[in-house]
Amino acid sequence: MATYLYRLGKTAYRRWPVFIAAWIAVFVVVGGVAGAFSKPTTDAFTIPGIPSEEAADLQAELFPDSVDAFDEASVNVVVAAPEGEKLADYAPEVAALTEALRGVDQMPAPETVVDPVAAAAEAEEQGGSSGGKPAEQPAEDDASAGALAALAPISADGRIGAISFAFDVDTVTDVEPATQEEVKEVMADARASGLTVEANGQGMGEFAPPGGAAELIGIGLALVVLVLTFGSLVAAGLPVIAAIIGVGLGMTGITAATAFMDIGSSAPILATMIGLAVGIDYSLFILARYRSELEHTEDRREAVGIAVGTAGSAVVFAGLTVLIALAALTVVRIPFLTTMGLAAAATVFLAVLVALTLLPAILGMLKSKAFGGQVRKYRPAREDDGRIVNNGVRWARFVGRKPLVVVLLVVVGLGALAIPLKDLFLAFPTDSTASPSTTQRKASDLLTEGFGPGREAPFQIVADLRDVAEADRPAATQEVIDWAAKQDGVAGVLDATALDPEQAEAAAEAGGTTLLLVPEFGPDDPRTQDLLTALRDGEDGIEADTGTDIGITGLTAITTDVSDRLNGALVPYLAVVVGLAFILLMIVFRSLLVPLTATFGFLLSVLATLGTTVVIFQEGTFGIMEGQPIVSFMPIFLIGVVFGLAMDYQVFLVTRMREAHVHGASPRDAVVDGFRSSARVVAAAAIIMTAVFSGFILEDDAIIKSMGFALAVAVLFDAFVVRMTLIPALMYLLGEKAWYLPAWLDKILPDVDVEGEKLERPHLADARAPEPDLAR
């Protein structure tokens, strides 16, 4: 491989106009497709085959006009009177608010947007529970009273009301931002009268990607690190430019791909995270190797060829490990996670191509100016034999003094950080876990205060009564209601179709009904998940008793099922990723033990990362973020990304060790030489990657914030604690055994020559003084 990449690098350097023109042409074609045929991204987190989706399908079969909970653009406009007052005292203002909402674009039929004060007054006149007065305590066997109170238009104390509706759109992503702005303007007008008005629900979610602040912060910090690394403004800008080009083409490609498949709204953001980080790193490694080769030859084209042939080979295999980790997300059969993984994998693939072809072409265009704009001269300290002495050498020798002690300290330290993982609670973010400053969170808090937390976590129990005699259907329905209402944690259950004469008639014709169950707890409470489990466990029994076929769906049920599927997919995913990557690393390192140590270090870093994330995000320690559940797909996606990035650093560091060993260095010399050549660049790459990921912590979106934090911490742990501390200590302890590979396996594995052993490298034949054995 090194020979082919060596030729590719020299060709790109020599024929730089052709390569640059080819990249421009690709940009134009992909951009044209994106501009002409792209479609909006989606926010669907549904998974075919989960119980809640099957229940939703049954509901659609019985009631063709029903809307899937994930597609419904529901909105709750919550209005509250000042403390100590009642909403009825502001009846004209509430009526004006309701009327203004009816005039907003994409609104449903006006009669479905109900004035809560008027609705409560009408209910009181008809002898029902008043919204403005405390409701009478329901009888113990009245299963529907608790649900009616939780879903009432006005709270029991009469201070808080809710105007609930759904935008007239097919899916949530069809809601126009202008429509949301209209709602916010109407709310602002109503606040002028002294009312508190907030809104939440899927229809008021933010669908636009971040505005670019996170990316700019990451790029800015990366530039600072690159200037310190190269001492050149031009050289510092090259990896950033290469990464931006790769990410830009990747984002354009993702946009174009929406014409052919559904792409989740989070996919471009996460692809940007990964693409920027690896794009800068891959170009940095090749550029650093290019500068190193210029110390041995004045032929710049030759230096580029050697850099692409050696560091480029490491880039290819590092990129392959990331691609395996991301593309393997397809095996878990979770559509939204598959698109996220493939989108990020495509961006990583482009980052590799840019580093191997466009960067050498740009170097060919710049020639001697590639390291222009110097802010400091590169004058490394040298030993008596001329070899460079840098902090990487000093650190490697320090670790080599007591390698066993270092191993124990790292294992114990990371193990301690992993302990909080035992309290991990996974769920999807909801309005109740949004930032306290958002209108979504404020509306959720008001709903909880006025109606209880269960109002935002209702379950829909779909009952198919077609196999039940028509005369027995009311009794069967009531038996299902009573069964559900007796479960622990249920505030109430009611027959939703019986509330409206038209719906009741439709239900009778369809031979089914939909029951609405309101829990006592919120959507992000573990007890709500326990309730769903108890209901599912009792389904068979109630179906046998009543002759019905039932299913449980609703937004909370769907997100819970998605979380369960994600957890179940974790083990097979790990098996595929680790298995394929282990084979790849055996090919790269021609060793059994080096891939084993790489995998062991990965497990330590990812467990410590998850434990730290639990402490900071779930427990809310240090006040960085209010405590809330970890988003359900965090562990599986984090494992995929961190495994890929961990193997990046493993490949870059250990291939330089193997390169030295292949060319005659002893095992101890090889460790030090690997750090002499790569530690500085790997450290810079890790700091850059951390900076890119850390920028996303500033985003308001809880998912992006937590992912940015977890990825940043994972890079710090894996790069500095595992790859630059634990791995060299283990390599010292293993000695020559680190490179053991059975003869029969050596014959089977392809020889890819990642170290460039077949390239003409006269300067590597120089005699080396052996490293002193500092462990003695």
Query: Does residue 592 surpass a pLDDT of 80?
Result: yes
Q: Tell me what pLDDT residue 206 has.
A: 66
425/647 Cα distance (integer angstroms): 28
Q: Tell me what pLDDT residue 754 has.
A: 61
Longest dimension (CA), the chain: 100
- Domain map (residue ranges) of the chain: 1-43+227-375, 65-206, 387-430+562-749
Query: Does residue 656 surpass a pLDDT of 70?
Result: yes
Q: How many residues does the chain have?
A: 776
Structural contact between residues 535 and 487, judged by C-beta atoms closer than 8 angstroms: yes
The dihedral over CA atoms of 14, 15, 17, 18, expressed in degrees to the nearest 10, equals: -160
In 3-state terms, what secondary structure has residue 192?
coil
Query: Does residue 367 surpass a pLDDT of 70?
Result: yes
Q: What's the mean pLDDT in 114-137?
A: 65
Q: What's the mean pLDDT in 103-115?
A: 90
Which residues is 631 bridged to in the sheet?
427
Q: Tell me what pLDDT residue 373 has.
A: 85
Cα distance from N-terminal residue to C-terminal residue, the chain: 40
| Mean per-residue pLDDT over the chain, rounded | 84
Residues 6+ apart with CB under 8 A from 632: 426, 427, 428, 559, 562, 563, 566, 567
Tell me how many degrees the CA angle 627-629-634 measures, rounded to the nearest 5.
Answer: 120
Same topology, domains 1-43+227-375 and 387-430+562-749? Answer is: yes
Query: Does residue 23 surpass a pLDDT of 90?
Result: yes
Query: Does residue 764 surpass a pLDDT of 80?
Result: no
Residue-wise pLDDT tens digits, 316-354: 888 888 888 888 888 777 777 788 888 888 999 999 999
CA 316 to chain centre: 24
Determine which helix (DSSP H) or strand (DSSP E) holds 418, and give its type and residue range. Answer: helix 403-418
Query: Does residue 195 surpass a pLDDT of 90?
Result: yes
Residue-wise pLDDT tens digits, 717-737: 999 999 999 999 999 999 889
Tokens of 487: 């479960």
What crossing angle do the helices spanning 634-662 and 555-589 adopt, rounded to 10°? 10
91/241 Cα distance (integer angstroms): 59
313/356 Cα distance (integer angstroms): 9
Q: State what percent of residues in the chain have pLDDT above 70.
A: 91
Q: What are phi and psi of 76, to 5 degrees?
A: -120, 110
In 3-state terms, what secondary structure has residue 637?
helix
Q: Tell me what pLDDT residue 337 has.
A: 78
The dihedral over CA atoms of 584, 588, 593, 599, expressed in degrees to the nearest 10, equals: -50
Higher pLDDT, 373 or 520: 520
Residue 743 CB coordination number (10 Å): 6
Q: Tell me what pLDDT residue 390 has.
A: 80
DSSP 711: H
Query: Does residue 136 surpass a pLDDT of 50?
Result: no
Q: Tell me what pLDDT residue 760 has.
A: 56
Residue-wise pLDDT tens digits, 488-545: 999 999 988 877 777 778 788 888 899 999 999 998 888 999 999 999 999 999 999 9
Structural contact between residues 514 and 462, judged by C-beta atoms closer than 8 angstroms: yes
Tokens of 524: 């992000």
Residue-wise pLDDT tens digits, 560-583: 888 888 888 888 888 888 888 888
In 3-state terms, what secondary structure has residue 299?
coil
Query: Does residue 771 surpass a pLDDT of 60?
Result: no
271/253 Cα distance (integer angstroms): 11
Query: Does residue 211 surpass a pLDDT of 60?
Result: no
Q: Tell me what pLDDT residue 757 has.
A: 57
Query: Does residue 401 surpass a pLDDT of 80?
Result: yes
In 3-state terms, what secondary structure has residue 512?
strand
Q: Tell me what pLDDT residue 528 has.
A: 92
354/357 Cα distance (integer angstroms): 5
230/201 Cα distance (integer angstroms): 50
Q: Tell me what pLDDT residue 753 has.
A: 61
Which residues is 494 bridged to in the sheet?
516
2/561 Cα distance (integer angstroms): 48
CA 163 to chain centre: 33
Residues 6+ apart with CB under 8 A from 2: 309, 310, 313, 752, 753, 754, 755, 756, 757, 758, 759
Residue-wise pLDDT tens digits, 234-289: 999 999 999 999 999 988 988 888 877 777 766 787 788 788 878 888 998 899 88
Upper half-sphere CA count for residue 505 (Cβ side, 13 Å): 3
**Residue 192 confidence class, pLDDT cut points 50, 70, 90:** very high
Q: Tell me what pLDDT residue 17 has.
A: 94
Q: Tell me what pLDDT residue 767 has.
A: 38
Q: What's the mean pLDDT in 354-379?
A: 88
Q: How far is CA 58 from CA 3, 201, 346, in A?
A: 60, 24, 37
Count helices and strands in the chain by DSSP H and E runs: 27, 11
Strand locations in 671-766 (E) = none
459/613 Cα distance (integer angstroms): 30
Q: Tell me what pLDDT residue 749 has.
A: 83
Q: Tell me what pLDDT residue 756 has.
A: 58
Query: Does residue 208 surpass a pLDDT of 60?
Result: no
Query: Does residue 1 surpass a pLDDT of 80?
Result: no
Measuring CA to CA, which residue among 702, 191, 688, 169 is closest to residue 434? Answer: 702
Q: What's domain 387-430+562-749's superfamily in CATH?
A: Multidrug efflux transporter AcrB transmembrane domain (1.20.1640.10)
Measuring CA to CA, which residue among 238, 235, 361 is closest to residue 301? Answer: 361
Instruction: Give the amino acid at 49.
Output: G
Instruction: Give the amino acid at 498.
Output: A
Measuring CA to CA, which residue among 362, 381, 378, 379 is closest to residue 370? Answer: 362
The dihedral over CA atoms of 179, 184, 188, 190, expressed in degrees to the nearest 10, equals: 70
Query: Does residue 417 surpass a pLDDT of 90?
Result: yes
Residue 129 CB coordination number (10 Å): 17
Taking the CA atoms of 631, 552, 146 and 168 in sequence, report the sign of the dihedral they define: positive
The dihedral over CA atoms of 743, 745, 750, 752, expressed in degrees to the nearest 10, equals: -70
Q: Tell me what pLDDT residue 637 has.
A: 79
Instruction: Characterize the bridge pairing of strands 630-631 and 426-427.
Output: parallel
Query: Does residue 446 surpass a pLDDT of 80?
Result: yes
- DSSP for 71-120? T--EEEEEEEPPTT--GGGGHHHHHHHHHHHHTSTT---GGGS--HHHHH
Instruction: Give the amino acid at 774.
Output: L
Q: Tell me what pLDDT residue 653 has.
A: 85
Residue-wise pLDDT tens digits, 635-649: 887 887 788 777 778
The dihedral over CA atoms of 224, 229, 234, 240, expressed in degrees to the nearest 10, equals: -60
DSSP 374: B
Tokens of 565: 């599927």
Q: How far is CA 430 from CA 324, 443, 453, 524, 755, in A?
A: 32, 12, 12, 7, 50
Q: Enter the CATH code of domain 1-43+227-375.
A: 1.20.1640
Q: What's the mean pLDDT in 177-205?
A: 92
**Residue 18 confidence class, pLDDT cut points 50, 70, 90:** very high
Residue-wise pLDDT tens digits, 34-73: 888 877 766 655 677 889 989 988 988 888 877 777 778 8
Q: What's the mean pLDDT in 403-413?
A: 95
624/609 Cα distance (integer angstroms): 16
**Residue 548 confidence class, pLDDT cut points 50, 70, 90:** very high
Measuring CA to CA, which residue among 256, 251, 247 is closest to residue 30? Answer: 256
